Amino acid sequence: MNDTNVHLQDSASETGFPSGFLWGTATAAYQIEGAAREGGKGESIWDRFVHAPGTIADGSTGDIACDHYHRWSDDLDLMARLSHSAYRFSIAWSRVLPDGKGHINETGMDFYEQLVDGLLARGIVPCVTLYHWDLPQALQDRGGWENRDTASYFADFAQAVARRLGDRVSAWITHNEPHIIVYHGYVDGTKAPGLRNPALVGPISHHLLLSHGLACQALRAETPHTDIGMALNFAAIEPATDREADAEAARTLDGLWHRWFTDPLFTGAYPEDIVPLIAQPPDLIRSGDLETIAAPLDFLGVNYYTRALVRAGKGGPTDPRIVPPSGPLTTMGWEIYPEGLRATLTRLHRDYQPKYLYITENGVAFPDTLTGDGEVHDAARTRYLREHFLATRQAIAEGMPVRGFFVWSLLDNFEWSYGFGQRFGIVYTDYPTQRRIPKDSATWLARVAATNGGTVEE
Ligand code: FCB
């Protein structure tokens, strides 16, 4: 993190979390901002996608979402009351560059500048995600991530943001979860842009990774003291049985989901065992691309929610199939499996030695309701978070360089194709009135943050 803001020490403090450990929440622009067509913002692929019939489970859109664009100041006050020391949010590319390139929309830049300044004024460290899935529609019209040029446009966008905000931002997260973009945006079509074409896995992955590398160059040039990383999603992938074929299938799935991205980032090569499974057109990888992609990072962001149990399908070990989970589930149908977080951190440290690790997302959706006393008693969420904090503390004790934890999410918000049906917030959003009601877990988390983890077991 930018050394003007945080001074991290390497020794763990008495609580088991290093002093300067960042405690906060994470959000994404499309999920909370609303104001889809205000302030000169251009259309994004999500603005387009949600208005196509049948794409969103409850027929809702993010047009208004949590109206954070208008309520940002109150939302920052809330974070301060909840003792956040950091906040991870994303910048909507089409709010800053309505056509994706060229003309900068100063009103959009102003919005993010007041957000950054507002955070700093409240003593909260700003961590900025540059791409949380909302490509400007104007670039999609030119082929989107299928088009190699989009990688350069992304670097230009990163540079424009860094020029305006870089002196005050502590960390850049170039991309959020490229694996989800690839498989849900382009294979099963459940997320924008909603395509269904498995042949695109190779090209989209490569262009996303390349765009990261090019953005790193632009960011380093503008803001040499700001840390750079990427947030990737990791499931704890385990074989469903002790059969050798299932172990191999688990390794394949780990390759498809994880190593396909982490190997190029940290070793400059796509994983050999997976290359035969993913088509890469002959002219896709150009000379110098892999060096660009593998430029050293300051941290790896870990988004962790659940485990995936795997068995070999009819096609054998290269045909991994996920076994339906049987443990305790969330309303997303995800198994609650905190040990997997520790295993994930350990494995990433062992295989790639990133300088620092941050938990850039972890949290849970439950069917929260407002009770008669006007509160939300979400003991199950507190339990979920406690167990994941303890898994992190254990990993730290074992030597993993974890430096912060961002709970997903600050507010109940627009959960992509699930609409408003999944409540991930530590703060309840009453959508008709946009009232924010901190849940019991928010109060618990505030104390944990204020004591740097000292009260995590309470
Ligand atoms: C992650 C996304 C985030 C949110 C959570 C629940 O995959 O990055 O925006 O949807 O899942």
Query: What ranges do the domains of the chain cover?
Result: 3-450
Give the residue-averaged pLDDT of 179-207. 98
pLDDT band at 9 (very low <50, low <70, confident <90, very high): very low
pLDDT at 5 over 90: no
Alpha carbon distance 272, 263 (integer Å): 10
* Sequence-separated (6 or more) residues with CB below 8 Å from residue 370: 376, 428, 430, 437
Contact predicate 453/404, CB 8 Å: no
CA dihedral of 44, 48, 50, 55, whole degrees rounded to 10: -120
Give the residue-averaged pLDDT of 171-194. 98
- The verdict on whether omega for the bond into residue 60 sits within 30 degrees of 0, i.e. cis, is no
pLDDT at 46 over 80: yes
Give the residue-averaged pLDDT of 122-137. 98
Give the ligand 1 atom nearest the CA of 416. Answer: 10
Strand-pair category, 171-176 with 125-131: parallel
Q: How many CB atoms lie within 10 A of CB 2?
A: 17
Give the ligand 1 atom nearest the CA of 422. Answer: 6
Alpha carbon distance 330, 458 (integer Å): 23
pLDDT at 216 over 50: yes
For residue 293, the CA-to-ligand 1 centroid distance in Å is 24
Give the ligand 1 atom nearest the CA of 363. Answer: 6
pLDDT at 179 over 60: yes
The helix/strand/coil state of 35 is coil
- pLDDT score, position 8: 44
The active-site residue, picked from 177, 238, 335, 415, is: 177
Atom 10, ligand 1: which residue's CA is nearest?
415
pLDDT at 4 over 50: no
CA-based torsion, 171, 25, 329, 341: positive or negative:
positive
Residue 72: C-alpha distances to residues 112, 411, 458 (Å): 10, 12, 31
Residue with tokens 């020029």: 163
Which backbone phi and psi does 166 adopt, to 5 degrees?
-60, -30
Record the tokens describing residue 416, joined without a space.
């992509």
**How many percent of the chain have pLDDT more than 70?**
97
- The verdict on whether omega for the bond into residue 193 sits within 30 degrees of 0, i.e. cis, is yes
Q: Please classify residue 12 by burial: count the beta carbons closer than 10 Å to its beta carbon, then call 0-12 exposed, 13-18 middle and 19+ buried.
A: middle
pLDDT band at 270 (very low <50, low <70, confident <90, very high): very high
Alpha carbon distance 346, 392 (integer Å): 10
Residue 204: C-alpha distances to residues 195, 210, 326, 335, 401 (Å): 12, 10, 33, 29, 31
Give the ligand 1 atom nearest the CA of 415. Answer: 10
- pLDDT score, position 3: 45
pLDDT digits (tens, 9 = 90+) for 286-325: 999 999 999 999 999 999 999 999 999 999 999 999 999 9
List, chain by chain if needed, residues with CB within 6 Å of any ligand 1 atom.
Answer: 28, 31, 176-177, 180, 233, 303, 361, 408, 415-416, 424
- pLDDT score, position 10: 44
Amino acid, res. 368: D
Alpha carbon distance 332, 294 (integer Å): 34
Record the tokens describing residue 212, joined without a space.
């990261």
Q: Residue 302: in which H helix or E strand, if any?
A: strand 299-313
Helices (H), 166-254: 178-186, 201-222, 244-254
pLDDT band at 168 (very low <50, low <70, confident <90, very high): very high
- pLDDT score, position 12: 53
Alpha carbon distance 316, 219 (integer Å): 44
Testing ligand 1's pocket by substitution, the residue of 408, 412, 413, 418 carrying the most ligand atoms inside 8 A of its CB is 408
Give the residue-averaged pLDDT of 411-433. 98
Alpha carbon distance 302, 344 (integer Å): 9
Atom 5, ligand 1: which residue's CA is nearest?
408
Mean pLDDT of the chain: 96
Alpha carbon distance 45, 140 (integer Å): 7
Q: How many CB atoms lie within 10 A of CB 20?
A: 18
pLDDT band at 355 (very low <50, low <70, confident <90, very high): very high
Question: Is 113 a catalytic site residue?
Answer: no
pLDDT at 2 over 60: no
CA-nearest of 100, 143, 187, 128 to 5 is 128
**Architecture in CATH of 3-450:** Alpha-Beta Barrel (3.20)
- pLDDT score, position 327: 83
**How many percent of the chain have pLDDT more than 90?**
97
Alpha carbon distance 112, 283 (integer Å): 38
Alpha carbon distance 121, 127 (integer Å): 15
For residue 235, the CA-to-ligand 1 centroid distance in Å is 13
Q: Give 151's DSSP letter.
A: H
Contact predicate 430/371, CB 8 Å: no
Give the residue-averaged pLDDT of 38-43. 98
pTM higher than the cut 0.95: yes
Question: Is 361 a catalytic site residue?
Answer: yes
- pLDDT score, position 13: 78
Record the tokens describing residue 252, joined without a space.
């394949």
For residue 429, the CA-to-ligand 1 centroid distance in Å is 17
- pLDDT score, position 11: 47
Alpha carbon distance 140, 143 (integer Å): 5
For residue 451, the CA-to-ligand 1 centroid distance in Å is 27
Testing ligand 1's pocket by substitution, the residue of 181, 190, 230, 303 carrying the most ligand atoms inside 8 A of its CB is 303
